[in-house]
Amino acid sequence: MKKANNLTLYIIIAMVAGVLLGYTVHTQSTPEFIAVFAERIKILTKIFLLLVQMIIAPLVFSTLVVGIAKLGDLKTVGRVGGKAMLWFISASLMSLTIGMILVNILKPGVGIDLDNADASAAADVLSKTQVFSLENFVVHLFPRSIFEALAQNEILQIVIFSILFGVATAGLGENGKVIVKGLDAVAHAILKMVGYVMNVAPLGVFGAIAAVIATKGLGIFYFYGKYMGFFLIGIVVLWIVLLAFGKIFLGDRLPGLLKRIIQPIIIAFSTTSSEAVFPKLTEELEKFGCKDKIVSFILPLGYSFNLDGSMMYMTFASIAIAQAYGIQLDFGTQITMLLVLMLTSKGIAGVPRASLVVITATLSMFNIPPEGIALILPIDHFCDMFRSGTNVIGNALATSVISKWEGELGPDQETIV
């Protein structure tokens, strides 16, 4: 545990160093130098994320197939999957509702200055909007080729193939045990790689923080302080609700879970990537006492269906943009918007700035100027930090609670003498 604590300390030091370097560059350099600096320093973050992405696809496939095969039969898979979907849908609706209630009470959109819109970045988001429709989403569920899905890190497609392959493997009986044993060894080898990759995390964190502060500067908080402050109130409320449910279901085990996932939360926060901590979160949940067959089944599903922080932000940001334009949305329209976001947001974990793309598509459906996404882009990186960290908490709680429901939550490895 001492090694894990050291890594957490190094990550925090990297965050502080990144802020100091980024602020120095922002205040002491020309715009041309800042642009070059930000591009170069982000290479560190890209290296870290690429190393993580290299691991994710084979880890999801191997662990999910093994987990389903170990569950034993289709009935058990259906029971565990049903519990997972019940939790995911309930958590998503709760998160969306919290965002809707708070944005109506706090009215953050009223304080958004239209002159600070980031039009150039908005154009990039708008260009991706058309991919989010019901038809495209359903078609996108099923991989044309598993090798293409693995190469593109299409988590939802990998999950679909892995579930079918795992059920088929379980149906082979004794012959299937050879496949399970081989893939189990592969999964353990990849988890061993996680430790090596995590050693690069402080450099990735340093590059991400330094780049954004150098480009935006600390002054961005002065322009969007009200919006950011109200969003953080929403995050705090969501954390309180999530942890309250965690306490109800996990009891005295909740502090131990939070201790286990603090490092994944910090990495997700600083890199703005929930995906970046998938391998590490898998490892920590198993050490916490969740059985590998539950973790390998629930966690990949959670990354497609249970992004609580992103859910809350979607209703918050969508209605805030309407407020900025002076557009009044009645209660029925807001409920409809909530349900639309509930559907269109599934399977977005691997898409860069995915929440923004979904928000933009939703704005168009409700006659709100989609260009309004430019209003929140200047502060979005900082909001994404908290969204990503919250997503980690939500998936850790979901996996742990379902493990307990199934009677598969063992003691924390630290308590085993």
> Phi/psi at 306 (nearest 5 deg)?
-140, 60
CATH 1.10.3860.10: does it fit domain 2-411? yes
Within 8 A by CB and 6+ apart from 96, the residues are 311, 312, 314, 315, 338, 341, 342
Instruction: List per-residue pLDDT tens for the chain, 417 residues long.
Output: 445 557 778 888 988 898 899 999 999 989 899 989 989 998 988 888 788 778 878 888 888 888 777 776 677 778 888 898 899 889 989 999 999 999 999 998 886 666 555 555 545 555 554 444 556 666 667 888 889 888 877 777 887 888 889 888 888 888 888 998 898 898 888 878 877 887 888 888 898 888 888 887 877 666 678 888 899 999 999 999 999 999 999 999 999 999 999 989 998 888 877 777 888 898 899 999 998 888 888 888 887 778 888 889 989 999 998 888 888 888 888 998 888 787 666 555 544 456 776 787 778 778 888 777 777 877 787 888 899 899 999 999 999 999 999 888 888 876 554
Within 8 A by CB and 6+ apart from 238, the residues are 95, 98, 308, 309, 312, 390
What's the pTM?
0.77
Instruction: Enumerate the domain spans of the chain.
Output: 2-411
- Given CA atoms 4, 8, 91, 128 in this order, what sign does their dihedral have? negative
> Are 2 and 192 a contacting pair, CB within 8 Å?
no
Return the pLDDT at 265.
92
Return the pLDDT at 118.
52
* Residue 74: other Cβ atoms inside 10 A: 12
Return the pLDDT at 172.
84
409 secondary structure, DSSP code? B
CA distance 102 to 98: 6
Return the pLDDT at 280.
87
Return the pLDDT at 417.
45
Return the pLDDT at 55.
83
Return the pLDDT at 238.
95
